[in-house]
A and B are shown apart, each in its own frame.
Chain A
Amino acid sequence: MPYEPVLLARVNRPDSPRLEGYRNDGGYAAFERVLREKQPLDVVNTIKDSGLRGRGGAGFPCGLKWTFLPKDHPGPIYLCINADESEPCTYNNRILMEKDPHQVLEGIMLACYAIKCQTAYFYIRYEYGTAYRTLQAAIDELYAAGLLGKNILGASFNLDIFLHRGAGAYICGEETGLIESLEGKRAWPRIKPPFPAIEGAFRKPTIVNNVETMACVTQIMRRGIDWFKSLGVPPDPKNPRDAGSFGPKLYTLAGHVNEPKCVELPMGITIRDLVEQHGGGVWKGRKAKSVNPGGISMGFVDVNAPLKGEDGKTEYDIPLDFNGPGRVGCLGLGTAAITVIDDQTSMVDVLHNTCQFFSHESCGQCTPCREGTGWMLKITDRLRRGQGRREDLDILIDVADRMGIIPGTTICGLSDGAGWPVKTAIRKFRQEFEDAIKVGRKSVVRSLPIAGVH
């Protein structure tokens, strides 16, 4: 039986963003029931027991994060919603915000009740103007209906939700970069610890959660733990540290697929099935050569590389759960954005494009990241111009291996994400890079005049 979407159930309804329609579909009943019948700790425990892991990229267990807040804190405690969504090829948060904002807002209200937060800041990237205005209209409806503000529904619970617009910087998605940006400073990520749950926004305990995570909170509180756990992949019994990959997930398809779109499925679908069955296959009758599973920070999969120990299967067959991409050397599931690269495309060009992104977006605080991203861009640029040198590939891997919080040289994960596509592309497609150097193969390189600061 085909899977019936839950998170996306309402997106094609006429007037899906409106409060009235949302309530007619049973919206805010979970919030009202919780407010009447449950203690905050009950909600924390439900989310913890559901196994929900954050959808923003790191996959940290959501309920567990909430328990890191100091006990009996006099407040204020803040919730920051991360709608910076700038990981390339990712757009699931946008669809939720534009098409079903109340599902997200109900999750925020439930989360705030759980963590005893009275002020939530919803940090949304500037480029999402439509989502911003849709959310503001939805929030206005909630104040008018007495669902936000003081003494909500006659209970002693107060809550304000404020939208806060970014200004076009990827680094504001890193949770402490987000906090600095919210505070009106340059978005330089903080050294951790202290983690935000101890000292976050305005030096107060703060939880940062992703938009899709909030939509999942709504559905868990509405449908229960059993429903959530009936979907996805249970923990690997051989790995005591695996928290499993439960629940539905919004995958975003992009690149060389026939039908680039956002698809909701239980966690754990393979890349092959996602692309071939849900994305309509590779465009122009071509074959896939590589796939980026999870946003470009996660690195690349070689569609034709055999999967060790699994006869007849290739890296194309890995499941898109929290563990799958790691099995083939990728950083993780990331944002579950799946970008397909066809067999007519040069990996040199693809890699140059990713290096360009990270070099542009490094915040510049840490030398290995600031200099490393620039260096990698310079090298991939000369590879693409047919001026590659024999030692270039080793230098690229060397630089990529040394930058990031995993090797321990930088403050935030942007630089791990900058290194991963480089090392996976070169390790998996080395021959293509070597050929490019040997032959001096040139890509089409435009030298557009660029003015101004941007």
Chain B
Amino acid sequence: MSVLSEDIKNRIRDYIPRYPSKQAVTLPALHIVHDELRCVPTEAVREIADLLDLAPAEVQDTMTFYQFFRTEDDKLGKTRLWVCRTLACALRGADDLLEHCSKRLNVPVGGTTADGKITLEFAECIGACEGAPAVLVNDEHVMNVTNERADELIDRLRAN
């Protein structure tokens, strides 16, 4: 059975006319799958390769380069919470914040809460340095995150 729904496949196919090569659809396809399934299963790699006339190894090669996409035994939670650790944030308490989040969520950095709600990660500069320390909730910035604000954010993410 196919792991990619017809809808996902169509959304991937929609990208093909944008580029002179089908291979260029690799990243968009990986994002579509990853957003939806919270990981890119091995079978999905094969199916993406099929859609784009590539060898599965080519998709796998690109995918693993980015260290961004999760595999099925290491699935993301509903929310991916990235805590920036780079200089501007480090100068304003990022280490504390990351440690605080790790304790509060009771997961190691990179881990996912038991209820599958939140995956905690560190990030390199997320480009929100005027609001250091900053975090990213999936792909949206939250700035000036004190420990208290982190707690509120985590409570909110847990509730939904």
Contact = CB atoms under 8 A, between A and B. Distances in A.
B116 interface: no
A449 B123 contact: no
A361 B123 CA distance: 11
A127 B66 CA distance: 13
Interface of B is mostly: mixed
B128 interface: yes
A129 B138 contact: yes
Contact of B27 (A87, A91, A164): A164
B102 interface: yes
Interface in A341-364: 341, 345, 349-350, 353-354, 356-357, 360-361
Contacts of B31: 126, 165, 167
A86 B21 contact: no
Interface stretch (B4-12, B84-92, B152-160): B84-92
B86 A353 contact: yes
A187 interface: yes
Contacts of A162: 18-19
A424 B67 CA distance: 31
B26 A127 contact: no
A345 B19 CA distance: 49
A127 B123 contact: yes
A129 B140 contact: yes
Chain B interface extent, by class: 35 or more
A183 B30 CA distance: 13
B150 to A, nearest CB: 15
Given A88-B125, A339-B91, A345-B91, A261 B27 contact: no
Contact of A127 (B30, B129, B139): B139
Given A168-B66, A453-B67, A454-B110, A261 B87 contact: no
A451 B110 contact: yes
B128 to A, nearest CB: 6
Contacts, number: 178
Nearest to A341: B91
Contacts of B104: none
Interface string A54-95: 000000000000000000000010000000011111110110
A45 interface: no
B110 A260 contact: no
B99 A181 contact: no
A168 B123 contact: yes
Contact of A261 (B52, B74, B130): B130
Contact of A451 (B111, B130, B140): B111
Nearest to A352: B90
Interface of B: 18-21, 23-28, 30-31, 52, 58, 61-62, 65-70, 74, 82, 85-88, 90-92, 95, 98-99, 102, 107-111, 121-132, 136, 138-141
In the A-B complex, list the 7 residue pairs whose CB atoms are closest, starting with the nearest.
Answer: A129-B139, A452-B110, A184-B26, A186-B65, A449-B108, A254-B88, A451-B110
